Amino acid sequence: MEKIIINIDSRFSNKKLYNNSSKFTLNLDNTIKNVYDINITSFEFINLYYTFSNKKNNNSFTFVYDSELYNLIIPDGFYQSNDLINIIQTSFDNLIYGVFNISINSDNGKITISSKNPFKIDFSNNSYIQSLGYLLGFRNKKYNPSFNSSISRYSITSEGLLNISGDNYLFLKVNDYGNLYTNFYYDIENVLVPKKILAKLILSVNKTQTDFDNNTFISKKFIFRQPVNISKFDIELLDPHGNTLDLNYMDFSFTIELNYLYQNESY
């Protein structure tokens, strides 16, 4: 019985072949034979990927005002609560100045969007739970606000709370190994697509901070039913929705521990 420890760092992946550091293949110099288990022992990650982005299709929504359709878009990024509200307010004003107001209740974290005149708002440009509206706390796709006499405006208030952190965990996929199964729901096709996941990685730090994780994995070890030979690792870092993570050309690393049965091939 032998053990081998392998450091995997996306900085050293073949950038000519893989332009996304979250998805790449590492070919081993030598095939490791008779492997009977694989274990993730560490994970190092700088939490710099965007909560809101055009690639994730969660940085915009549409609204109708005075029979005209508008598309509100915010820049890619991660924001503090007040900064996000100010960005959306500015985006409203750039489209129709002085008509809309967006605010956050500092006591309960809920968002209110209002106007003096009737309007309709649609957050359904993306899968329900991935949309900008969902992160703002709105749990319906479309709204037709009613008149709020207490503020003398047409308004909607979010059912949920503002979420500026985005994801609180990630998935690490290595080859087809893993005991953890997750169903990624695709709203348009209305189907469930299962994937084998080697490790669920808990994000314990805020944006711009580095996560050095060596003990909060879920399902970090996989035992093979019979020994296998491993010549490469197909690696993919996924968000909770099953999307390959866009790290904005930043990198991550982790450590793999393999236990294998040694055979002296000289005999």
pLDDT at 211: 67
**Per-residue pLDDT at 125:** 78
Query: Which residue matches tokens 């909770």?
Result: 240
pLDDT tier at 187 (50, 70, 90 boundaries)?
very low
Q: For residues 7, 8, 12 and 17, what is the CA-based torsion angle, rounded to 10 degrees? A: 150
- pLDDT for 19 equals 86
Confidence of residue 221 (pLDDT cuts 50, 70, 90): confident
Domain 2-50+166-260 belongs to what architecture? Answer: Sandwich (2.60)
Look up residue 209 and give its two tokens. 């901070």
DSSP string for 34-96: EEEEEEEEEEEEE--S-SB-TTTT-SEEEEEETTEEEEEE--SB---HHHHHHHHHHHHHHHS
* Cα dihedral 74, 77, 78, 82 sign: negative
C-alpha to C-alpha distance for 126 and 231, rounded to whole angstroms = 39
Residue 60 and residue 33 in contact, taking contact as beta carbons nearer than 8 Å: no
Please determine, for residue 236, whether its predicted confidence score (pLDDT) is greater than 50. yes
Q: 198, 201, 236, 251: which is closest to 26 by C-alpha?
A: 236
Would you say residue 214 has pLDDT above 80?
no
- The whole-angstrom separation of Cα 28 and Cα 72 is 47
**Higher pLDDT, residue 185 or 87:** 87
How much is the pLDDT for 183?
A: 61
* CA-based nearest residue to 12, from 265, 201, 251, 219: 251
Chain-centre distance of CA 60, in angstroms?
17
Task: Please tell me the distance from the alpha carbon of residue 109 to that of residue 28, in angstroms, as a whole number.
Answer: 50
Three-state SS for 31?
A: strand
Give ranges for CATH 2.60.120.1100 in the chain: 2-50+166-260
Tell me what pLDDT residue 41 has: 92
Neighbouring C-beta atoms of residue 147, cutoff 10 Å = 12
Q: How far apart are CA 230 and CA 240, in angstroms?
A: 27
- Distance from C-alpha of 243 to C-alpha of 251, rounded to nearest angstrom: 17
Radius of gyration of the chain (CA): 23
pTM, rounded to two decimals: 0.86
- The pLDDT score that the predictor gives to residue 216 is 57
Q: What percent of the chain has pLDDT over 90?
A: 70
| CA 236 – CA 76 distance, rounded (Å) | 23
Band (pLDDT 50/70/90 cuts) for residue 256 is very high
pLDDT band at 267 (very low <50, low <70, confident <90, very high): very low
Question: Which pLDDT score is estimated for 91?
Answer: 98
251: pLDDT strictly greater than 90: yes
Please tell me the predicted confidence (pLDDT) of residue 111: 98
Q: What is the pLDDT of residues 129-162, one digit of tens each?
A: 789 999 999 999 999 999 999 999 999 999 999 9
Give the mean model confidence (pLDDT) for residues 84-113: 97
Which range of 73-77, 128-132, 204-208 scores highest in mean pLDDT? It is 73-77
Would you say residue 185 has pLDDT above 60? no
* pLDDT over 60 (residue 182): yes
* Mean per-residue pLDDT of the chain: 89
- For residues 250 and 21, the answer to whether their CB atoms sit within 8 Å is yes
